[in-house]
C-alpha cells in the first residue's frame, strides 16, 4: 500500500473522484477489496488501519519574563511522519517543530541556522510586527551555512490566537514548506475574558500533507497521492468525555491544500479566525480553511463513540486541482459525562472599518503559460523584490478589490495586519471578525478593507497568493507603508 506506484498527476475525472470518496468514506474500507484502479490517495484512509495512533502535539517553547528564546536549525534530516521514514528538509530534525508561545508585549529572539544547501528565511505569518531589519522581513535571506538572529517585538495590544511560521524565500517557499518547514506560534489570551471558558483544555492541530516516494519528497502535483497529517500523525485518536469542552486551534500550515473540515455528529463553535477573535461564537458544521488560514473552535463531546474528523473532497476549479476526502483524526468520546460548560454567544466587539475607508485599489490575480510551465501574476506582473508595487501612507484605510481572472482558486494574504472582508462576488458579508488570508473565487472578486494604521507596519513587505506553488511562480507583490 505504501509504496504503491502512481499514475502521472492528471486531474481525477469527477466520477472517479466520487467513487474514491465513497470508498474512502466506507466505514469498513480497510477490509473491502480496493476499487479497480487503486490510487495512492486511498492510503490516507487505510494506512495504519488497526493501529490507532495517539494524538500528540508538537513540543512547545514559552516566553519567560517577557522573552522567548529559541533556535531553529533548518537541515535535511531523517524523520518519521505518519509511520514512514523519510529524509526531508525540516526544522530541528522534526516534521513537527516547536510551537512558540508568547504573550502580547513579549520579545521573540530567534536564531535561525541554515544547514540546507539553498537559501531560506523566516516569516511570522499573521503577526502585527515590524517588517524591517531582522524582524518579519521577507527580503532578508539566510544563505546556506549562515546563522541569522531575528527579533520580533509583539505589540502590547496584539490580538491573541493561532499564528504560524514558515520560510518565505522566493522560489524556495513551496518546496521547503512541502518538506515540512512550518510550525505554530500562539499569542496567549484568546479566552481570558470569558469566565465560563477558564481552564479549558486546548489542542493544537496542524494540518500538513506530504508526498513521499522511496523515502524522499515526490513532486506529483498538488493533492495527488498525498498523505494527510495532523501534527505529523496519520489519523491520530483523541479522547473527550461526553459534555467536555475543548479549544482546538486548527492551522492549515501546508503548502497548497484547501481544507473543508467536518466532525461527525458534532458542530464546531468558531472563536477566532487567523488569530483574530470573532465578535460572537459562530456555530457551523463545516470549516473552510484556505492555505495559510487558521480557525480556532470550541468542540463539545457528544455521544459516546468514534467520530472521524474529515476533510471533504476539494476541487479548486477547471485549471486547478482535485483531491479526495480523507479522515484526518478520530475523536473518541468515552468515559463519565461532565456537565457541559455554558458557551458565551457574544465575545468582544470587532471594529467595523466600513465608515473609515480613505481610498480604493484593485489587485488582479491571473495566470498564463510559457515554455517553462505556468506563470502566475499580480496585476500582470510576476514578483520582483526590487520593485515597489504599491505605496501606502501610514494611517490609510483602504478598500481593495481582489479579482481572480483565472480558472482556479487563489487566496489572498497580506503581511503585518488583519483585514475585514466586506463583499464576495457582490454579496455583502456580515462582520464577524477579521482575516489575514482569504479565498478568492474562480473568475470572481472580493472586497476587503485593510487598515494601514498601526505604526509597527512601516516598511516594505508583501502580499500574495498563499498557495505557495503559485507564490513561487510569481503571484506575489511588494508594498511599502510610508510614514
Binding site for ligand C2O (CB under 6 A): 123, 125, 166, 168, 292, 413, 415, 462, 464, 466
Contacted entry of ligand C2O, Cu ion, none for residue 467, CB cut-off 5 to 8 Å set by kind:
Cu ion
Q: Is 470 in the site for Cu ion (CB under 5 A)?
A: yes
Nearest in space to 250 (alpha carbons), one of 288, 224, 283: 288
Helices (H), 156-225: 173-179
In the complex with Cu ion, which residue's Cβ is closer, 202 or 405?
405
Compute φ and ψ for 471, nearest 5 degrees: -60, -45
In the complex with ligand C2O, which residue's Cβ is closer, 43 or 166?
166
The minimum distance between CB 122 and Cu ion, in angstroms, equals: 22
User: Which DSSP letter does residue 196 get?
Assistant: G
In the complex with ligand C2O, which residue's Cβ is closer, 228 or 415?
415
The minimum distance between CB 297 and Cu ion, in angstroms, equals: 26
Question: CA-to-CA distance for 249 and 204, rounded, in angstroms?
Answer: 5
Determine the interface stretch with Cu ion among 157-165, 278-286, 423-431, 461-469 (rule: CB under 5 A): 461-469
Contacted entry of Cu ion, ligand C2O, none for residue 307, CB cut-off 5 to 8 Å set by kind:
none
The minimum distance between CB 468 and Cu ion, in angstroms, equals: 9
C-alpha cell at 122: 523566516
Binding positions for Cu ion, 375-414, rule CB under 5 A: 410
Sheet-wide strand order for 445-452: 373-378, 359-370, 396-404, 445-452, 420-424, 427-428
User: Which DSSP letter does residue 317 get?
Assistant: -
Nearest in space to 3 (alpha carbons), one of 146, 188, 213: 213
The minimum distance between CB 361 and ligand C2O, in angstroms, equals: 19
Nearest in space to 225 (alpha carbons), one of 440, 42, 454: 42
* Binding residue count for Cu ion, defined by CB under 5 A: 4
Question: CA-to-CA distance for 394 and 377, rounded, in angstroms?
Answer: 26
Place of cell 500550515: 253
The minimum distance between CB 293 and ligand C2O, in angstroms, equals: 10
Residues with Cβ within 8 Å of 64's Cβ and at least 6 positions away in sequence, in order, are: none
Contacted entry of Cu ion, ligand C2O, none for residue 410, CB cut-off 5 to 8 Å set by kind:
Cu ion
In the complex with ligand C2O, which residue's Cβ is closer, 299 or 477?
477
Compute φ and ψ for 328, nearest 5 degrees: -95, -35
In the complex with ligand C2O, which residue's Cβ is closer, 106 or 274?
274
The minimum distance between CB 461 and ligand C2O, in angstroms, equals: 8
In the complex with Cu ion, which residue's Cβ is closer, 353 or 467?
467
In the complex with ligand C2O, which residue's Cβ is closer, 41 or 175?
175
Contacted entry of Cu ion, ligand C2O, none for residue 415, CB cut-off 5 to 8 Å set by kind:
ligand C2O
Q: Which residue is nearest to ligand C2O (CB)?
A: 125
Binding positions for Cu ion, 151-210, rule CB under 5 A: none
Question: CA-to-CA distance for 84 and 78, rounded, in angstroms?
Answer: 10
Nearest in space to 289 (alpha carbons), one of 277, 303, 272: 272
In the complex with ligand C2O, which residue's Cβ is closer, 23 or 419?
419
The minimum distance between CB 308 and ligand C2O, in angstroms, equals: 28
Report the SS3 class of residue 83.
Answer: coil
Kindly give the pairing relationship between strand 276-284 and strand 268-273. Answer: antiparallel
User: Using the rule CB under 5 A, which residue among 206, 467, 468, 476 binds Cu ion?
Assistant: 467
Cα dihedral 208, 209, 214, 216, rounded to 10, equals -50
Determine the interface stretch with Cu ion among 87-95, 125-133, 281-289, 463-471 (rule: CB under 5 A): 463-471
The minimum distance between CB 369 and Cu ion, in angstroms, equals: 15
In the complex with ligand C2O, which residue's Cβ is closer, 123 or 266?
123
Q: Is 314 in the site for Cu ion (CB under 5 A)?
A: no
**Residue 322 CB-half CA count within 13 A:** 15
Compute φ and ψ for 364, nearest 5 degrees: -115, 125
The minimum distance between CB 100 and ligand C2O, in angstroms, equals: 15
Contacted entry of Cu ion, ligand C2O, none for residue 470, CB cut-off 5 to 8 Å set by kind:
Cu ion
CB atoms within 10 A of CB 467: 27
The continuous run of DSSP H or E covering 404 comes out as strand 396-404
Amino acid at each position: 500500500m505504501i509504496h504503491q506506484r502512481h499514475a502521472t498527476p492528471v486531474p481525477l475525472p469527477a466520477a472517479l473522484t466520487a467513487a474514491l470518496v465513497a470508498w474512502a468514506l466506507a466505514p469498513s474500507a480497510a477490509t473491502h477489496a480496493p476499487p479497480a484502479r487503486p490510487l495512492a490517495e486511498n492510503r490516507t484512509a487505510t494506512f495504519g488501519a488497526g493501529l490507532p495512533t495517539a494524538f500528540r502535539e508538537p513540543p512547545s517553547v514559552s516566553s519567560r519574563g517577557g522573552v522567548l528564546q529559541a533556535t531553529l536549525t533548518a537541515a535535511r534530516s531523517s524523520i518519521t511522519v505518519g509511520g514512514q521514514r523519510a529524509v526531508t528538509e525540516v526544522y530541528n530534525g522534526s516534521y513537527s517543530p516547536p510551537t512558540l508561545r508568547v504573550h502580547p508585549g513579549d520579545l521573540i529572539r530567534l536564531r535561525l541556522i541554515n544547514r540546507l544547501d539553498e537559501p531560506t528565511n523566516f516569516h511570522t505569518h499573521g503577526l502585527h510586527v515590524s517588517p524591517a531589519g531582522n524582524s518579519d522581513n521577507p527580503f532578508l535571506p539566510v544563505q546556506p551555512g549562515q546563522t541569522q538572529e531575528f527579533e520580533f517585538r509583539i505589540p502590547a495590544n496584539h490580538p491573541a490566537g493561532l499564528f504560524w511560521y514558515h520560510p518565505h524565500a522566493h522560489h524556495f517557499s513551496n518546496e521547503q514548506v512541502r518538506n515540512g518547514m512550518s510550525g505554530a506560534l500562539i499569542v496567549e489570551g484568546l479566552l481570558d475574558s470569558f469566565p465560563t471558558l477558564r481552564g479549558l483544555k486546548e489542542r493544537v492541530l496542524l494540518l500538513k500533507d506530504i508526498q513521499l516516494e522511496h523515502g524522499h519528497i515526490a513532486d506529483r502535483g498538488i493533492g495527488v497521492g498525498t498523505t494527510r497529517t495532523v501534527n505529523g500523525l496519520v489519523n491520530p485518536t483523541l479522547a473527550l468525555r461526553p459534555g467536555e469542552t475543548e479549544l482546538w486551534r486548527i492551522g492549515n500550515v501546508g503548502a497548497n491544500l484547501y481544507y473543508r473540515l467536518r466532525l461527525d455528529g458534532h458542530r464546531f463553535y468558531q472563536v477566532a479566525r487567523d488569530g483574530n477573535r470573532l465578535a460572537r461564537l459562530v456555530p457551523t458544521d463545516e470549516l473552510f480553511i484556505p492555505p495559510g488560514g487558521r480557525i480556532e473552535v470550541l468542540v463539545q463531546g457528544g455521544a459516546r463513540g468514534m467520530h472521524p474528523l474529515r476533510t471533504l473532497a476539494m476541487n479548486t476549479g477547471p485549471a486547478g486541482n482535485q483531491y479526495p476526502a480523507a479522515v484526518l483524526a478520530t475523536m473518541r468520546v468515552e468515559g463519565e459525562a461532565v456537565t457541559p460548560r455554558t458557551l458565551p454567544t457574544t465575545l468582544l466587539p470587532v471594529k467595523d472599518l466600513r465608515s473609515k475607508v480613505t481610498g480604493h485599489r484593485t489587485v488582479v490575480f491571473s495566470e498564463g503559460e510559457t515554455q517553462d510551465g505556468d506563470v502566475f501574476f499580480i496585476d500582470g506582473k510576476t514578483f520582483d523584490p526590487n520593485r515597489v508595487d504599491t505605496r501606502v501612507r501610514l494611517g490609510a484605510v483602504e478598500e481593495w478589490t481582489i479579482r481572480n481572472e483565472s480558472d482556479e482558486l487563489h487566496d489572498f494574504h497580506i503581511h503585518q495586519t488583519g483585514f475585514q472582508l466586506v463583499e464576495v462576488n457582490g454579496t455583502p458579508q456580515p462582520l464577524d471578525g477579521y482575516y489575514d488570508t482569504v479565498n478568492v473565487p474562480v473568475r470572481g472578486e472580493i472586497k476587503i478593507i485593510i487598515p494601514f494604521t498601526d505604526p509597527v507596519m512601516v516598511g516594505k513587505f508583501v502580499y500574495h497568493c498563499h498557495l505557495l506553488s503559485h507564490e513561487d511562480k510569481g503571484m506575489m507583490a511588494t508594498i511599502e507603508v510610508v510614514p
